[in-house]
Copies of this chain bind each other. A is one copy, B any other.
Amino acid sequence: RPVREVLFFPSKPSCTEALLAEAESPDNTPVPCPCPLPRGDCAFSRLLRHLLSARRSLELCLFAFSSPQLGRAVRLLHRRGVRVRVVTDAQYMALKGSQIGLLRHAGIQVRHDQESGFMHHKFAIVDRKMVITGSLNWTTEAIQNNRENILIMEDAEYVQPFLEEFERIWEFYDPL
């Protein structure tokens, strides 16, 4: 059965430390996080879990990317050998708190627009078979405070056009 989920935000505050720590070192028992946030499932933890399911490739096409947890997740996928490619908006990239610098520093390929309009997409493609897309920018503000939606879909009819759009933009933003 293909994944077909709709998630709404704001997400309840919850601790995602165990999720990230386990993904970082699956063989170690994670040290319990001392923070007071409740554990358990929420829209944000479901987003993280789907992202962390990547084994081969991850394409990100994101207007705004400043969530530290999502940044940590993407860097750990890169270290695990997942091929990560990121496209982002030049205007937003320069803002304080953007994760883009950290991704580049980690050796992840990033390309950005040179256009006057915004690169306003907010989608991710996991292993070329799952698309995550919606209104949600990858910022803590949006995750915790805004009314937002994301769809998580494995229907080929929806995934394929996003793959093609990513490749189009990736080529178009080629700096060479």
Question: Looking across the interface, which residue of chain B has its beta carbon closest to that of A168?
Answer: B8
Q: Are B120 and A146 closer than 8 Å at their CB atoms?
A: yes
Q: Contact residues of A with B, CB < 8 Å?
A: 4, 6, 8, 10, 63, 113, 115-123, 133-136, 141-142, 144-149, 151, 153, 155, 157-158, 161-162, 165, 169
A to B CB contacts below 8 Å, 10 in the list:
A4-B158, A8-B161, A117-B141, A117-B144, A117-B147, A119-B146, A120-B142, A123-B135, A133-B135, A134-B135
Q: Which of B8, B113, B136, B165 contacts A8 (CB 8 A)?
A: B165
**Majority-rule SS of A interface residues:** mixed
CA distance A23 to B168 in the complex (A): 35
